[in-house]
Amino acid sequence: MRFVDIIAKKRDRLELTKEEIQFWINGIVDGSIPDYQSSSLLMAIVLNGMNSKETAALTEAMMYSGDVIDLSGIEGIKADKHSTGGVGDKTSLALGPMVAACGLKVAKMSGRGLGHTGGTLDKLESIEGFSCEIEDEDFKKQVNECGIAIIGQTAKLVPADKTLYALRDVTATVPAIPLIASSIMSKKLASGSDTILLDVKFGEGAFMKTVDDARELARAMIAIGKELGRDTRAMISDMNQPLGNAIGNAIEVKEAVDTLHGKGPEDFTELCLQAGEIMLLQGGVYATKEEARKALIQTIEDGSAFGKLKDMVASQAGNVAMLEDTSLLPQAKYVLEMKSVQTGYIQNLNALEMGTLAMRLGAGRATKADSIDHSVGIVLNAKKSDHVNMGDVLALVYTNQELTPEWIEDFYGAYKFSTVVVERDPIIFDVLQ
């Protein structure tokens, strides 16, 4: 088999066989196929696409390019949830414990933040001592005993994706649904869970800019899951403004804790409840959404969800006292009020700009080598559709440095105001399965 013939085949819009795709992935892993040839095929895929059969074959080949986690030693259904990334997305920190408190096992591997999107691991590492790196057997033992564990992906998980992602990044071949879907799903499937819930975000702060694009990606990933025997469902959620109020690391941990005490932002709480309903139905814990929602709310009211978060943090060597008293979390030197310079209804609050502003404070990474300042970030006091008067506090900025005039100008540039009432969008636009 010659790889140049495979490139030519996709150039001519023909379907690649499972064997041809496997030959490609094998060549990526063992280094026998040079980057320039893989780059050529990637561009052919961007231009000519892949059908669902090809995409599933690519995902499976990538999935088995490295370690595949065996979770069969964990009792019951194992659930996982994946977000395509956004601003203020601390969902796993609240949703995971809520679902675990209802009796569903949550075995989750998460990533770190890059650019304007925050990473779950970075948020958790705001907690003193918390370890994202634990051995496989300890991971399984913790999920069995505690019901939940959130850890970092192992270096040997889907190595083909690491190579392909780096190539896509420098060859303008990132925006292709088959490549995005196979990248995400290969990691989720290799992580070993029985059920997968995908939170596919769209809007200014998301990779997919429109609802239709988000639906297309969701359908592609669901098809892969079904093809490979996993119960995979997706919800389409709004990222035209940040999720919740907090954008940062320690301040997002605090917001997750507040949510588990019934004091979280309305949009974030609703997203957790709707996601939890789907996960509990997938796991067969409850038969109806109504029963599942009632149970999830009960875990907040009786404190069992917060108890699960504390159990997980303690099991992973974290300082639980920081959850019981969130003032012990990393604190910024300055807390500055950003006041509105006009009166009106907030028509738009640009999530991408807000995420970038937080990154510029030190809450995120512009490059993988950058370090994180866990104490800094932005807490919003008003969001889309809210009415504010001139001089009202729009947000609190947690920072360890003085704000530059450029930063302040960009902050106010992220807001657009209207003199007429602005409708509030739903947080979840669709659920697919």
In order of 29, 31, 189, the CA distances from 24 in angstroms are: 9, 10, 20
Q: Is the pTM above the cut of 0.85?
A: yes
| Consecutive H or E run containing 248 | strand 246-248
Tell me the two tokens of residue 201. Answer: 């975000």
Out of 40, 183, 191, 340, pick the active-site residue: 183
Out of 10, 82, 201, 233, pick the active-site residue: 82
Out of 123, 140, 187, 384, pick the active-site residue: 187
Out of 168, 230, 233, 308, pick the active-site residue: 168
pLDDT of residue 12: 97
On the question of pLDDT at 371 being above 80, the answer is yes
pLDDT digits (tens, 9 = 90+) for 284-329: 999 999 999 999 999 999 999 999 999 999 999 999 999 999 999 9
Mark whether 187 is an active-site residue: yes
Mark whether 183 is an active-site residue: yes
User: Which residues neighbour 335 within 8 Å (Cβ) at sequence distance 6 or greater?
Assistant: 396, 397, 398
SS3 334: strand
Question: 21 burial class (0-12, 13-18, 19+ CB within 10 angstroms)?
Answer: buried
On the question of pLDDT at 282 being above 90, the answer is yes
- Residue 195 · residue 282 · CB < 8 Å: yes
The phi and psi torsions of 319 (rounded to 5 degrees) equal: -85, 100
Out of 122, 161, 194, 373, pick the active-site residue: 161
CA gyration radius, the chain: 22
Mark whether 258 is an active-site residue: no
pLDDT digits (tens, 9 = 90+) for 41-92: 999 999 999 999 999 999 999 999 998 988 888 989 999 999 988 899 999 9
| Consecutive H or E run containing 30 | helix 18-30
Mark whether 168 is an active-site residue: yes
